[in-house]
């Protein structure tokens, strides 16, 4: 099992998310944190982009998916983000946190965190 990780933190995306009527028509911001687990030994030795996971591509794919989505639950969103993250063969596990700022009065945000293996 590898212990190497790539972190993408604080990815802010506007989307339709929620079950209330107003949430189905008004975009809200979600904040996404992703940890990608992969063996980074080779890119650490070669210093070659072709030997590593392109986190920019993963970030763009996640952003495009979330912006075009219309989820009721952040649990479903997190699951599908994890699926996108696991597409590159080198990724063996993805930890995904989705936070919905302002979802509860008196709380900074409400969120879920999930982990999925390839």
Residue range 45-83, pLDDT digits in tens: 999 999 999 999 999 999 999 999 999 999 999 999 999
| pTM of the predicted structure, to 2 decimals | 0.94
Domain ranges, residue 33: 5-117
Q: What span, in angstroms and rounded, lies between the C-alpha atoms of 74 and 76?
A: 5
User: Residue 103 — left, alpha, or beta (φ > 0 → left; ψ -120 to 50 → alpha)?
Assistant: alpha
Give me the catalytic one of 27, 42, 60, 100: 100
Domain count, the chain: 1
Indicate if 27 belongs to the active site: no
| In contact, 75 and 94? CB cutoff 8 Å | no
**CATH number, domain containing residue 108:** 3.30.1130.10
Q: Is the pLDDT of residue 89 over 90?
A: yes
Q: What span, in angstroms and rounded, lies between the C-alpha atoms of 91 and 39?
A: 8
């Amino acid at each position: 099992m590898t212990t190497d990780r790539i972190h993408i933190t604080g990815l802010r995306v506007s989307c339709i998310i929620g079950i209330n009527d107003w949430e189905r028509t008004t975009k809200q911001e979600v904040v996404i944190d992703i940890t990608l687990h992969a063996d980074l030994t080779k890119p650490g030795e070669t210093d070659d982009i072709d030997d590593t996971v392109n986190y920019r591509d993963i970030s763009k794919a996640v952003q495009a998916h979330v912006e075009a989505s219309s989820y009721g639950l952040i649990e479903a969103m997190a699951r599908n983000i994890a699926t996108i993250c696991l597409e590159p063969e080198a990724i063996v596990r993805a930890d995904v946190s989705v936070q919905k700022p302002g979802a509860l009065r008196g709380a900074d945000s409400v969120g879920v965190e999930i982990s999925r293996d390839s």
